[in-house]
Amino acid sequence: MIKVNGEEHPWRQGLNIAQLLKEKNYVYHAIIVRINEKFVPPEEYDVSVIKDGDNVEAIHLITGG
Amino acid sequence: MIKPLTIAGREIRSRLFLGTGKFSNSTVMARALEASGAEIVTVALRRVEFDNPQDDIIAHIDQKKYLLLPNTSGARDAEEAVRIARLARAASGWNWLKLEVTPEPNYLLPDPVETLKAAEILIKEGFIVLPYINADPVLAKRLQEAGCAAVMPLGSPIGSGRGIKTADQIRIIIAQATVPVVVDAGLGLPSHICQAFELGADAVLLNTAVAAAQDPVQMARSFKLAVESSLAGLESGPMSEGEAASASSPLTGFLR
């Protein structure tokens, strides 16, 4: 099990960020991803393997004043 | 012809900055942005809500036309603000930032000590920092000396629509300013915009006044007109005030 934006998500061996975002129906612009508070560059999304127990955060720009 | 505003060496064509929060939907927001004539628009940084994909507003903001100014909303101290700022830079791909540190939720008044602390760190890291502050002339001076690109004093609490209740302090901030002064927060009516410019402000930042109007698009247009009207009036060389009346009609040939 991993955490994705604070919620539990099933984990499997070899899961990478690109796959995870696809599973989550990623449609966002300007997203950034951190694993265990460490920033992952977009070009590494399909090679960055998520480990069991990792805390994954996807952050983006949204409306605000 | 209204002179463009320059912030951190960049020419900004509109002196009205608009927030993107609280609009009923993205279409209304996009139309209001268009009607306002704004170039700088503020955005926030949050965790993605994967179950609610409609909240991807960036898709509705044409980044060729608008300059995104991410804020640090939600930050309660300097450490949180710096963390959000770094993430905002990664998400937006550039280094302009509306720094706001608001530790208490009732009035959302900015914390001066933490704001200055965060500004000093972020400026060293290469950010273009536009801090949201209370209308405190001493703090504004410290922030401009620290290297902030502008200072953004409040007129009244965020989203209150109460207008400029801090006019005397804003006047002092403007008198000593070496960077642009943007009146941010509390503006609710076109007349508040006029007051800000008549005090000598360089720009204004609005959000709720537009988003919470019954017709946000028309309200955005009305604010645009207020900016143009105020600035054109000021550039025209306003008349001097006098104590007594000065008749406008000839004082001869009365039909008595």
CA of A41 to nearest chain B CA: how many angstroms apart?
A: 9
d(CA A34, CA B241): 60
In a domain, B48, yes or no: yes
In a domain, B254, yes or no: no
d(CA B71, CA B131): 9
SS3 for chain B, per residue?
A: CCCCEEECCEEECCCEEEECCCCCCHHHHHHHHHHHCCCEEEEEEEECCCCCHHHCHHHHCCCCCCEEEEECCCCCCHHHHHHHHHHHHHHHCCCEEEECCCCCCCCCCCCHHHHHHHHHHHHHCCCEEEEEECCCHHHHHHHHHHCCCCEEEECCCCCCCCCCCCHHHHHHHHHCCCCCEEEECCCCCHHHHHHHHHHCCCEEEECHHHHCCCCHHHHHHHHHHHHHHHHHHHHCCCCCCCCCCCCCCCCCCCCC
Task: Look up residue B130 and give its amino acid.
Answer: L
Nearest to B21 among A5, A57, A65 (CB): A65
pLDDT score for B134: 97
Q: Cβ contact (<8 Å) for A65 and B48? A: no
Nearest CA in chain B to A24: B50
Residue from A26, A34, A57, A61 to probe the interface with B (highest B Cβ count within 10 Å): A61
Q: What is the pLDDT of residues A25-62, one digit of tens each?
A: 877 767 889 999 888 988 899 999 999 999 999 998 88
Q: What is the pLDDT of residues B12-68, one digit of tens each?
A: 999 999 999 999 888 999 999 999 999 999 999 988 887 776 566 778 888 889 999
The answer to whether B152 and B131 are in contact (CB under 8 A) is: yes
Q: Cβ contact (<8 Å) for B71 and A32? A: no
d(CA B49, CA B60): 17
In a domain, B2, yes or no: no
In a domain, B4, yes or no: no
pLDDT score for A37: 87
Of B58-62, B196-200, B243-247, which gets the smallest average pLDDT?
B58-62
Residue numbers in A near B68 (CB within 8 A)? 61
pLDDT score for B50: 77
CA of B198 to nearest chain A CA: how many angstroms apart?
A: 24
d(CA B18, CA B41): 5
Nearest CA in chain A to B45: A61
pLDDT score for B84: 93
pLDDT score for B54: 59
Interface membership of A38 toward B (CB under 8 Å): no
State how many domains chain B has: 1
The answer to whether B132 and B99 are in contact (CB under 8 A) is: yes
Q: Cβ contact (<8 Å) for B57 and A30? A: no
Give SS3 for A20: helix
- Residue B223 maps to which CATH number? 3.20.20.70
Q: Cβ contact (<8 Å) for A65 and B50? A: no
In a domain, B6, yes or no: no
Q: Cβ contact (<8 Å) for B46 and A26? A: no
CATH number attached to the domain at A2-59: 3.10.20.30
Interface membership of A12 toward B (CB under 8 Å): no
Nearest to A59 among B56, B71, B87 (CB): B87
Nearest to B185 by CA among B199, B202, B165: B165
In a domain, B165, yes or no: yes
d(CA B61, CA B245): 51
Q: What is the pLDDT of residues B208-229, one digit of tens each?
A: 999 999 999 999 999 999 999 9
Please give the mean pLDDT across all residues of chain B: 93
In a domain, B58, yes or no: yes
Q: Cβ contact (<8 Å) for B53 and A27? A: yes
Range of the domain at B143: 14-235
In a domain, B252, yes or no: no
pTM for the whole structure: 0.90
Q: Which residue has the higher pLDDT, B173 or A5?
A: B173
Give SS3 for A23: helix
Strand partners, A63: B43
Which residues 6+ apart lie within 8 Å of B34 measured at CB?
A: B220
Task: Look up residue B211 and give its amino acid.
Answer: A
Task: List own/partner pairs for A36-43 with CB under 8 A and 24 or more apart.
Answer: A39/B87, A39/B90
State the catalytic residues of B. 98
Q: Cβ contact (<8 Å) for B19 and A65? A: yes
Interface membership of A3 toward B (CB under 8 Å): no
pLDDT score for B1: 59
pLDDT at B253 over 70: yes
Nearest CA in chain B to A23: B50
